[in-house]
Amino acid sequence: MCGIVGYIGSRRVVPVLLEGLKRLEYRGYDSAGLVYLSKNGLVKHRAAGKLVNLETKLDQVRETASHIGLGHTRWATHGSPSELNAHPHSDCNGELVVVHNGIIENYHTLREELQADGHVFKSETDTEVLAHLIEEALPLSRNNLPAAVRRALKKVRGSYAIGVLWTGAPDQLVAVRSQSPLVLGIQENEGGGSLLASDIPALLPYTRKVVFLDDQEMAILRADGFEVRSLASGRKINKEIKTIDWNPAMAEKAGYTHFMLKEIFEQPQAIMNTFRGRVEPETGQICLPELDLSDREIKKLNRISLVACGSSWHAALVAKYWLEKWVGIPVEVDIASEFRYRRLILNENVLVVPISQSGETADTLAAMCLALQKDAKVVAICNVLGSTITREAHGTIYTHAGPEIGVASTKAFICQLVALYLLTLYLAQVRGVMSASQRQTMIESLVELPPMLERELPGWQEEMGRLAEHFVKSRDFLFLGRGENFPIALEGALKLKEISYIHAEGYAAGEMKHGPIALIDRDMPVLALAPQNGVYEKLIANVEEVKARHGRLILLGSRGDRDLARLTPHVIYLPVVMPDLNPILYTIPLQLLAYEVARLRGCDVDQPRNLAKSVTVE
């Protein structure tokens, strides 16, 4: 979950590290720290809480001329959030430091062995064992730091991305990746040098040239360049330098109060980025060559398995309706953490679709690996170029949502829906179960959606702001939907509970009478998604049950529907689109409602408590 950043070059290192940590704080914010090498040795600063606490400490320190260092922002896995447990962590002599993202599974055993050898530990973390292991390995490796890191990590089980700095090698940083993301930044502009980070935004102020490390790879960074070696053999590996088309401004708030609000308003453009170049409205053709599946393989498919976590799982639930309706193949939807612990019936005729914004979600990665072992076809849906999921899958549909800094997913979720919609149309096209005219109608409707959303968004924010004032003090909330809008009720509830800390639940509206209706009283807000579609009458009947028990109704429905106003004064009218696109349309007002409620409650919208952006541990 944590964020790491490192730099070696001609710039002053502390400002570089702080800027990188600011852009990585979404990965964890219960403590932060940095270390740099001065003429008197390593200088370490750490603080509990958010990054601002570390900055306050550094304001009291005379600026150093150091040009090499490491930084870390933490999301606790082992040891309570505290300054003592904050990274970086040192060896016994304070001459070597490590920053780490991941979990060392056998750290208890390693710690006991090291303590028996006389090592003294100062923290409760699993990370500290890495510093002591490398310390032990240095004399056995003739004080060669990369060799010592390789030797030490042979004893380690778990997931890790680490950065290592040692006073005995003042001209290099060592970085290693194993099941946790790590990317290098290659500078060509004034100042030069090399960078490492957990994620791309930390690198954007300095370079767009990056190198993605693969599992079991080690990088040695110097001021004038870098090299990558196999962790197992030590042999040199030639890596491709890629150019990222994000610019630093994309990772800033651009005048919005919060990243989340900015990212909600970016959704029309993000939707266009997802379908651009993949649809031909004039012919009804869908182009997805990146699937890397032949027409013959697609025609042989007899089942689809969608695997994801959190909001991505809700996107998968929507896609189940689309795929079964238009492709005619049975579809299963699994929470990734459960998928891997049941008996899987997979083969070469099953398409497994892992969905992950980051491409590094630990449970989804593990589920994908199992699918690959059983010879299933794997097509990933992901936002991050070069991430682990995209490298391991047979094919990938990139969502092209751009960087998403707010912890609560907004544009990444919407773009996942669009990518799954395109996948549905493409499979139907290849299998010959949908006419070109039908596809053309559906593509045209999709293309018309972004400009419509662009027009509607400001008005929705105003309406949801007024609505939030009525419900900001609520303790509980129910969201109802039917058909393909049921998963959007789940997503709406998740957004509200994530950022406002109000207890919220989503239900299929028909399930109300099977238990949840017992909760309805004059204090219970109930939001129902009521577009005029094939299950409209059924939904309204469920809403009447809520009204009869004096629940506080909120309805989102089709513009022109005059019947909704008789049920409640709280009605939000949305444009009429084809039913398959309602999940995309109806999601955005729910995002805005959650945002406005959280804002009024004074919550930390972009960094809600106990959550981190990328869940890279099980």
> pLDDT for 252-298, tens place per residue?
666 788 999 999 999 998 998 899 889 988 888 999 988 989 999 99
Please choose, from the candidates 612, 617, 618, the residue with its C-alpha nearest in 3D space to the C-alpha of residue 73: 612
Q: What are the structure tokens assigned to 500, written together? A: 């406002």
Contact predicate 520/543, CB 8 Å: no
User: pLDDT value at position 432?
Assistant: 96
Fold of 259-600: Rossmann fold (3.40.50)
pLDDT band at 557 (very low <50, low <70, confident <90, very high): very high
| Average pLDDT of span 605-618 | 74
Lowest mean pLDDT among 234-238, 351-355, 405-409, 412-416: 405-409
User: pLDDT value at position 97?
Assistant: 98
For 546, the 3-state DSSP assignment is helix
Rounded distance, CA 415 to CA 449, Å?
A: 13
Q: Are strands 303-308 and 158-166 parallel, antiparallel or unpaired?
A: unpaired
Higher pLDDT, 237 or 281: 237
Rounded distance, CA 577 to CA 422, Å?
A: 17
Q: What are the structure tokens assigned to 444, written together? A: 């045209």
pLDDT band at 614 (very low <50, low <70, confident <90, very high): low
Rounded distance, CA 501 to CA 468, Å?
A: 14
Where in the chain are all domains bearing CATH 3.40.50.10490? 259-600
Contact predicate 197/21, CB 8 Å: no
pLDDT exceeds 80 at position 234: yes
Rounded distance, CA 430 to CA 416, Å?
A: 21
Mean pLDDT, the chain, rounded, equals 92
Residue among 22, 262, 377, 613 flagged as catalytic? 613
| Average pLDDT of span 82-109 | 93
Contact predicate 165/35, CB 8 Å: yes
String of b and e for 242-274 (b: at least 16 CB within 10 Å)?
Answer: eebeeeeebbbeeeeebbbbbbbbbbbbbbbbb
| Average pLDDT of span 107-124 | 94
Rounded distance, CA 183 to CA 16, Å?
A: 16
Asked about 603 being catalytic, the answer comes back as: no
| Average pLDDT of span 489-513 | 93
How are strands ordered across the β-sheet holding 31-38? 41-48, 31-38, 68-74, 3-8, 194-197, 183-186, 209-212, 242-243
> What are the Cα distances from residue 594, in Å, to 587, 597, 604?
11, 5, 12
Rounded distance, CA 407 to CA 606, Å?
A: 6
Rounded distance, CA 334 to CA 521, Å?
A: 34
Q: Are strands 194-197 and 209-212 parallel, antiparallel or unpaired?
A: unpaired
Where in the chain are all domains bearing CATH 3.60.20.10? 3-250
pLDDT band at 463 (very low <50, low <70, confident <90, very high): very high
Residue among 2, 309, 415, 603 flagged as catalytic? 2
Tokens 């990590």, residue located: 153
| Average pLDDT of span 178-183 | 89
Residues 234/216/218/237 CA torsion (nearest 10 deg):
60
| Average pLDDT of span 68-91 | 90
Q: What is the DSSP string of 45-65?
A: EEEESSHHHHHHHHHTSPPP-
Q: Determine how many CB atoms are found less than 10 A away from the CB of residue 493.
A: 24
pLDDT exceeds 90 at position 46: yes
**DSSP structural state of residue 198:** S
The terminus-to-terminus CA distance of the chain in angstroms comes to 10
Tokens 């994908």, residue located: 368
Asked about 50 being catalytic, the answer comes back as: no
| Average pLDDT of span 365-391 | 92
Which stretches does DSSP call E strand in 357-472? Answer: 377-382, 395-398
pLDDT exceeds 70 at position 247: no
User: Could you tell me the CATH superfamily of domain 3-250?
Assistant: Aminohydrolase, N-terminal nucleophile (Ntn) domain (3.60.20.10)
Largest Cα span, the chain: 82
